[in-house]
Amino acid sequence: MKIKNICCIGAGYVGGPTMAVIAQKCPEINVTVVDINADRIAAWNDEDVENIPIYEPGLSEVVKEARGRNLFFSTNVDSAIDKADMIFISVNTPTKTYGIGKGMAADLKFIELCARQIARVSKNDKIVVEKSTLPVRTAEALKNILDNTGNGVNYQILSNPEFLAEGTAVDDLMNPDRVLIGGDIENPEGKEAVEALVDIYAHWIPRERLLTTNVWSSELSKLTANAFLAQRVSSINAMSELCEKSGADVKEVSKAIGMDSRIGPKFLQASVGFGGSCFQKDILNLVYISKSLGLNEVADYWEQVIIMNDYQKKRFAYKIVQTLFNTVSGKKIAVLGWAFKKDTNDTRESAAIYVADYLLNEQAEIVVYDPKVKTEQIYADLDYLNTRSSEENRAQVSVVDTPYEATKEAHAIAVLTEWDEFKELDWEKIYNEMLKPAFLFDGRRLLERATKEKMGFEFYAIGS
């Protein structure tokens, strides 16, 4: 079965980059990415390719090559579904904020809307691919909706979770460790659908890295991968506090354990806590699924990863308050970095939001600098917490265009995103223009302690 037309519903951090790479690597396939957010689609179509809505190193070049050739962005969802042989669902699956499972379960309303729209529009057989991260057995619900509301059309449902990391999305897509494709492999039609998707990825990925499984294993593997990654961060963060109290240095501990081939060196960097749209939401989802199945010990085990992460953010903020003579009221604190990690403009669940919020509760005056995050986004993130009114957020927080404006006459600096450019700042100038004592809190272990202390900074880094 040869795929000629792909539609992807959802032009976000996953849909945009994944489809851009598929289109670049498969010039004979037409790829249309659709979204109900007209502003987002307009930005994807912006004449100046540097204005696309998602910042990822290398992405604008890929979009430039394929856009208008075989890569299209549109708000006409019906038309793209109608034409497609294969439909990727790449919409958001946030944590539910209401009703049963509030604060834990994944909200699947966007997924269900997509299924109903596909069922309404489709006139010929389709392969529907779950690209969004979904609770195990969601494919069953999708199939049910499609089969019962469709017009006699046959659907094959595949699970193809995305493992890209923001900040390195293009590299991850070009050269993935593996691609996971779950399908009804016991069945000839299911097998054929799996093969059709394997053929697409085989344009640029060696076949031995294309892993096929049953649908449930594929769905659950994505939640498991995120839970394991986040658990490593919480594990090293738990040790970071013990290091601070015992005279050990978490950097040395990480190196010592990471050289053990059974443990490995990755994801052992202590920090102010993980953020991003996925880790917390996916673990909460795992906790919810486990609880629903009566597996309370399993649920408690994974929930602890989140509890530790929340604690780490709070601990960092309280460390600032405590060090600044137990009050930050009316004091200017420069926040360097708002994105949840470097090389992305995504701020969802960023540790910076929570650290700033705790400091604002203590009546600090916050000045933020981030090289890629827009001012409106920073206010929107704070407003979303609903801790104080939006007027109060605007009165207490300002956003500036340079790190030097942020740090001038500040009582303290908090480094909350590991942007490379922060390493290269003129720290001598920053020190000279700050109030003294000049406190520098490194929440990412990005800066070198010795040089900063030599300049005169009072330096604190997580874990030592």
Ligand X SMILES: NC(=O)c1ccc[n+]([C@@H]2O[C@H](COP(=O)([O-])OP(=O)(O)OC[C@H]3O[C@@H](n4cnc5c(N)ncnc54)[C@H](O)[C@@H]3O)[C@@H](O)[C@H]2O)c1
Q: Which of 113, 307, 380, 395 is the binder for ligand X (CB under 6 A)? A: 113
Residue 8 annotated as binding site: no
| Three-state secondary structure readout of the chain | CCCCEEEEECCCCCHHHHHHHHHHHCCCCEEEEECCCHHHHHHHCCCCHHHCCCCCCCHHHHHHHHECCCEEEECCHHHHHHHCCEEEECCCCCECCCCCCCCCCECCHHHHHHHHHHHHHCCCCEEEEECCCCCCCHHHHHHHHHHHHCCCCCEEEEECCCCCCCCCHHHHHHCCCCEEEECCCCCHHHHHHHHHHHHHHCCCCCHHHEEEECHHHHHHHHHHHHHHHHHHHHHHHHHHHHHHHHCCCHHHHHHHHHCCCCCCCCCCCCCCCCCCCCHHHHHHHHHHHHHHCCCHHHHHHHHHHHHHHHHHHHHHHHHHHHHCCCCCCCCEEEEECCCCCCCCCCCCCCHHHHHHHHHHHCCCEEEEECCCCCHHHHHHHHHHHCCCCHHHHHHHEEECCCHHHHHCCCCEEEECCCCHHHCCCCHHHHHHHCCCCCEEEECCCCCCHHHHHHHCCEEEECCC
* Contacts with 377 (C-beta within 8 Å, 6 or more apart), sequence order: 338, 345, 347
Of 59-67, 107-115, 387-395, 409-417: span binding ligand X (CB under 6 A):
107-115
Which of 24, 30, 60, 93 touches ligand X by CB under 6 A? 93
Among residue numbers 138 through 177, which ones bind ligand X (CB under 6 A)?
Answer: 162, 164, 166
Query: Is the CB of residue 74 less than 8 Å from the CB of residue 41?
Result: yes
Q: Residue 95 or 254: which CB sits closer to ligand X?
A: 95
Q: Which of 3, 7, 8, 10 binds ligand X (CB under 6 A)?
A: 10
Q: Which of residues 118-137 bind ligand X (CB under 6 A)?
A: 132-133
State how far the alpha carbon of 119 is from the alpha carbons of 145, 158, 245, 353, in Å. Answer: 8, 16, 59, 40
Which residue has its beta carbon closest to ligand X? 12
Residue 43 in the binding site for ligand X (CB under 6 A):
no
Q: Does 40 bind ligand X (CB under 6 A)?
A: yes
Q: Which is nearer to ligand X, 90 or 237 (CB)?
A: 90
Q: Does 272 bind ligand X (CB under 6 A)?
A: no
The reply, when asked if residue 281 is annotated as ligand binding, is yes
**Is 23 assigned to a binding site?**
no
Identify whether the C-beta of residue 29 lies closer than 8 Å to the C-beta of residue 3. Answer: yes
Length of the chain, in residues: 464
Residue 12 interacting with ligand X (CB under 6 A): yes
- Which member of 60, 70, 92, 347 binds ligand X (CB under 6 A)? 92
**Does position 30 bind ligand X by CB under 6 A?**
no
**What would the x/- binding string for ligand X be over residues 407 to 426, using CB under 6 A?**
--------------------
Q: Is 11 annotated as contributing to ligand binding?
A: yes
Query: Distance (Å, rounded) from C-alpha 123 to C-alpha 23?
Result: 24
Residue 278: active-site member: yes
Q: Which stretch binds ligand X (CB under 6 A): 11-19, 187-195, 206-214, 378-386?
A: 11-19
Residue of 7, 26, 114, 278 marked active site = 278
Between residue 333 and residue 362, which ones bind ligand X under the rule CB under 6 A? Answer: none
Which residue in 254, 277, 312, 377 binds ligand X (CB under 6 A)?
Answer: 277
32 binds ligand X (CB under 6 A): no
One character per residue 59-88, x = contact with ligand X (rule: CB under 6 A)? ------------------x-----------
- Please pick, from the candidates 24, 60, 70, 90, the single residue that binds ligand X as defined by CB under 6 A: 90
Which among 136, 117, 137 is positioned nearest to 126, based on CA atoms? 117
Least Cα distance to 329 among 318, 321, 317 occurs for: 321
* Residue 49 among known ligand-binding residues: no
Q: Rule CB under 6 A: say whether 6 interacts with ligand X.
A: no
Flag whether 13 is marked binding: yes
Q: What's the closest the beta carbon of residue 112 comes to ligand X, in angstroms?
A: 9
**Residue 36 in the binding site for ligand X (CB under 6 A):** yes
6, 8, 11, 462: which one binds ligand X (CB under 6 A): 11
Our finding on whether 267 is near ligand X (CB under 6 A) is no
Stretch that binds ligand X, among 36-44, 185-193, 283-291, 317-325 (CB under 6 A): 36-44
Q: Nearest distance from residue 354's CB to ligand X, in Å?
A: 19
Q: Would you say 90 and 8 are in contact if contact means Cβ atoms under 8 Å apart? A: yes
The residue among 209 and 388 lying less far from ligand X, judged by its C-beta, is: 209
Annotated binding site: 10-15, 35, 40, 91-95, 132-133, 166, 278-281, 348
Catalytic residue IDs:
278
Annotated binding site for NAD(+): 10-15, 35, 40, 91-95, 132-133, 166, 278-281, 348
Interface positions with ligand X (CB under 6 A): 9-15, 34-37, 40, 77, 90-93, 110, 113-114, 132-133, 162, 164, 166, 277-278
